[in-house]
Structure 1
Amino acid sequence: MQWLKAIIGFILITIVSSKPALAEKVSIAVGDWTPYLSEQLKHNGIIGHLLHDLFKEAGYELTLSFYPWSRAYSLAKIAKQDMTGVWMLKPEREEDFHYSDPVLNEQFVFFHLKSTQFDWQSLDDLTGLVMGGGSEYSYGPEFDQALSAGKITIERVPTKYQNWRKLLLGRIAIYPEEINVGYSSLKQLYPKDKVDLVTHHPKPLLNNVSYLLFPKSADTSLRRLKDFNKQLHAFRKSGRYNIYFKKFREGYYDK
């Protein structure tokens, strides 16, 4: 009987050890940032797709939840969500969050009406102009410093629709936005005859990178951050990261 018990014990151990480990569930709070992140896009957009696959390969099951950007930030800060993204670097955010390695490269430009004569070479050239902008947005350290010093002013509103409407009505002269996000949202909101009224200045306001933010208030954040960064590095090294952006340029994520 002893040998039978041993065999049964061995079989049970083999079954248990061969059973795949359940993926750890994690959540991320994001905002709508078409064409990079949106509930209306295939796979929630290129960044949604990339994040899902990165975490899956790292052994996690990721759930994306969409909120207004300020709400997404607040929920992650108090660890009601495991992370938030994607955000650019700001010193004050480092008080509450650990930053991942860079996830996305972006280029911000100034949009304006074709009928408006607009040129700029430095932020001093923006003095006196009525400028639109998004709530909770940073357009880079130099821009933020000029705002704080009162050299430039910005009228912030919660939605892109409000900014585009104000621009088309001539209530603001310029509107800073990421170039792909800008044209994508404009085309979604307005017909071609309105879209054709708008252009952008070729000089970038900001070449930027964005990150995932992991709350310092959660004990699990550093472990998950390490796992994420390791997988992101592997995707970049293998070339897999670039495949997502090739699909993005080909329109794969458009519904």
Structure 2
Amino acid sequence: MVEKLQAGGRSAALTAALAIPIALTFLILLYLRSQPDLPLQPAIFATGDWAPYSGKQLPDWGIASAVVASTASEAGYEANLQFMAWSQAYNAAADSRMNRGIRGTFPWYRTAAREREFYYSDALLEVELSIFYNAQNTPQLVEQVDRPGGLDRYRGVRVESYQYHPDIERLLSDAPMVPSAFKAFQQLIENPEVQFVAEARDVGKGILRDYFPEQQIAIEVSEKTWPISVHLLASRKNPNNRRLIEQFNKALAGMKGNGAYNILLADVRGRIDAERAVILHSFSSEGYLEGFLKPSSRESVLLPAGTRVVVEDWGDAYLAPAEVANRPDRVLVRVRAIDSPMKGQMLYVDGRTIRLP
């Protein structure tokens, strides 16, 4: 009888011992659920104009800006983006030692020299670096630009604060410096002694389209590209930045893993494209639209009336004057469809189908 009472006492004590942590855990969870979400920590990030990846005039301030802001929020930070000259952004971030200062800067290419000063995030984006050259001033480059060593005898310019892919860095080791990508393309157009500029493909095309619409007819782009990744940098002088980058990378990996990253990129790119979109309308009695996969092809796909596209290349007929007698009956314009069954596809369409908004 005594043994049974002792056994029962031990069982009751064990039950009570287990119940205490369970009840405590329940109370903690109940308390946390009743509390409002913790406020995000403010964090200032510096960047510059590099459309479509960053720019104050772009939706969400650009693709890279959207990635940084969304990822920072997931990591518990409220991103405050400040736009400034690239050299100023870099130096301000490198010298910052306090959380209330500039915590980081983006988007930057990774180099050994920068790694000595900064913690690096994982890749924000992958971009393509290309060579832009003036085919009117240096027509021989048309045949040489994509060959190994084809640029060795030619002169380029480098942009202040830029670091390039090693293949390009070798070509620009003693090149003159300019303060911005805009100035680099201005030199390419106006200065015969400047034969090429190295720039991210989308960035260079945007600069030519927006600032040099008439002169862009002379500029060609290499077929060869150099893929590079761009990153968020945070100074090693601030001991808290290591934790910042760790949290940022964890959040970025989560977004890439659950699909939120790709959805974000598609959304921002779509809204940037929408600002440049034109609409296709039929001008023929048949009422349908044709899109060609190649300019010389006779095979085409049908496009619905009202298809929205982004013009990637208007072609010489729209950019250079010519006698009416020498103008072809049909002028094809290279476009990228942003809706319709051909969404995302590069096509050539008759210029007469394009209607500006």
Per the TM alignment, residue 145 of structure 1 is displaced from its structure 2 partner at its CA by 4.4
Determine if the alignment matches structure 1 residue 158 to structure 2 residue 179. Answer: yes
Structure 1 counterpart of 2:331 = none
Per the TM alignment, residue 245 of structure 1 is displaced from its structure 2 partner at its CA by 3.0
SS at match of 2:261: helix
SS at match of 1:250: helix
Structure 1 counterpart of 2:149 = 124
The equivalences for 1:57-68 within 5 A come to 57-68=74-85
Q: Does the Cα contact within 8 Å between 2:58 and 2:272 map onto a contact in 1?
A: no
* Equivalent position amino acid for 2:45 in 1: I
Per the TM alignment, residue 147 of structure 1 is displaced from its structure 2 partner at its CA by 4.6
* Equivalent position amino acid for 1:140 in 2: H
* Equivalent position amino acid for 1:181 in 2: V
Greater relative contact order: 1 or 2 (C-alpha under 8 angstroms, separation 6 or more)? Answer: 1
SS at match of 1:236: helix
The equivalences for 1:1-255 within 5 A come to 18-79=35-96, 80-115=101-136, 116-118=139-141, 119-121=144-146, 124-145=149-170, 147-148=172-173, 153-169=174-190, 170-191=192-213, 193-204=214-225, 206-252=226-272, 255=275
Paired with 1:253 and 1:96, the residues of 2 have a C-alpha distance of: 36
Per the TM alignment, residue 120 of structure 1 is displaced from its structure 2 partner at its CA by 3.1
Q: Deviations over 1:154-198 (max 9, x none)?
A: 22201222222221223411111100000011111122x322222
Per the TM alignment, residue 14 of structure 1 is displaced from its structure 2 partner at its CA by 5.3
Q: Deviations over 1:11-35 (max 9, x none)?
A: xx95996132111111111111111
Paired with 1:53 and 1:160, the residues of 2 have a C-alpha distance of: 27
TM-score (norm 2): 0.62
Paired with 1:161 and 1:221, the residues of 2 have a C-alpha distance of: 32
Per the TM alignment, residue 124 of structure 1 is displaced from its structure 2 partner at its CA by 3.3
- In the alignment, structure 2 segments of 5+ residues that lack a partner are 1-26, 276-357
Q: How many residues align?
A: 238
Paired with 1:172 and 1:157, the residues of 2 have a C-alpha distance of: 12
Per the TM alignment, residue 121 of structure 1 is displaced from its structure 2 partner at its CA by 4.6
Shift of the 162–171 alpha-carbon distance from structure 1 to 2, 3 Å rule, reads farther
Shift of the 238–216 alpha-carbon distance from structure 1 to 2, 3 Å rule, reads same
Q: Deviations over 1:90-131 (max 9, x none)?
A: 111111111111111011111112332312356633233121
SS at match of 1:29: strand
Paired with 1:254 and 1:36, the residues of 2 have a C-alpha distance of: 16
SS at match of 2:182: helix
Paired with 1:146 and 1:166, the residues of 2 have a C-alpha distance of: 17
Paired with 1:252 and 1:147, the residues of 2 have a C-alpha distance of: 32
Paired with 2:255 and 2:76, the residues of 1 have a C-alpha distance of: 15
SS at match of 1:164: helix
Per the TM alignment, residue 55 of structure 1 is displaced from its structure 2 partner at its CA by 1.1
Per the TM alignment, residue 88 of structure 1 is displaced from its structure 2 partner at its CA by 0.8
Greater Rg, structure 1 or structure 2?
Answer: 2
Per the TM alignment, residue 251 of structure 1 is displaced from its structure 2 partner at its CA by 4.6
* Equivalent position amino acid for 1:101 in 2: D
Q: Deviations over 1:75-96 (max 9, x none)?
A: 1111131011111111111111
Shift of the 238–88 alpha-carbon distance from structure 1 to 2, 3 Å rule, reads same
Paired with 2:235 and 2:38, the residues of 1 have a C-alpha distance of: 26
Percent identity of paired positions between Structure 1 and Structure 2: 26
Shift of the 251–112 alpha-carbon distance from structure 1 to 2, 3 Å rule, reads farther
SS at match of 2:53: coil
* Equivalent position amino acid for 1:229 in 2: N
Paired with 1:146 and 1:171, the residues of 2 have a C-alpha distance of: 15
TM-score (norm 1): 0.85
Per the TM alignment, residue 144 of structure 1 is displaced from its structure 2 partner at its CA by 2.8
Q: How big is the alpha-carbon RMSD for the aligned residues of Structure 1 and Structure 2?
A: 2.3
